[in-house]
Chain A
Amino acid sequence: GAVVSQHPSRVICKSGTSVKIECRSLDFQATTMFWYRQFPKQSLMLMATSNEGSKATYEQGVEKDKFLINHASLTLSTLTVTSAHPEDSSFYICSADNGRGEQFFGPGTRLTVL
């Protein structure tokens, strides 16, 4: 149980395009999901907290207009990187809270912007 999936696992896009990444909790409902990014050889940095049915809470320094987060249902949150640039290339990982304070992490999405 407690499986979180992400789609796609890898995406390559041209500079200036937008990319959507999905995060799904497969066997539990998650009122809260989290989005992290991880640069090569670095730790995970929390980008934003996503609550079902409400606006996401962004961490300091994260552009909310560039990283659009939608948490439309209790099992799905999406992160859209708008007008992507090479510096947005990173590993994006989501996690989902099962309501008991436990977070389960997705397998990550490798974004490469050319």
Chain B
Amino acid sequence: QQPVQSPQAVILREGEDAVINCSSSKALYSVHWYRQKHGEAPVFLMILLKGGEQKGHEKISASFNEKKQQSSLYLTASQLSYSGTYFCGTGAGYTGGFKTIFGAGTRLFVKA
């Protein structure tokens, strides 16, 4: 089942902070975060593998609350280069395999 992302879109001024949320009705085994710029391939940001785990990438960090079945992506002191669409992906495991299901995305626009 597809994870739900919020908000759908965010407009920021350079230097402002933002939070993007990802929640699932099913138990989460892992959460991936990707960023996609217009016309380009999604690019991996980070993966969180267990509840409570937090990770960081430059000024972008994420947390994973296993009990609440949700993850949040934190962008601090945003830069123009942060503009793009952010997708969370949740891991779905089954016999013999493991696939990633993506949310609909959060569009982030950072202006000068």
**Do the two shown chains form a genuine complex with each other?**
no
- Using a CB–CB cutoff of 8 Å, the interface residues on chain A facing chain B are none
- By a beta-carbon cutoff of 8 Å, the part of chain B in contact with chain A is none
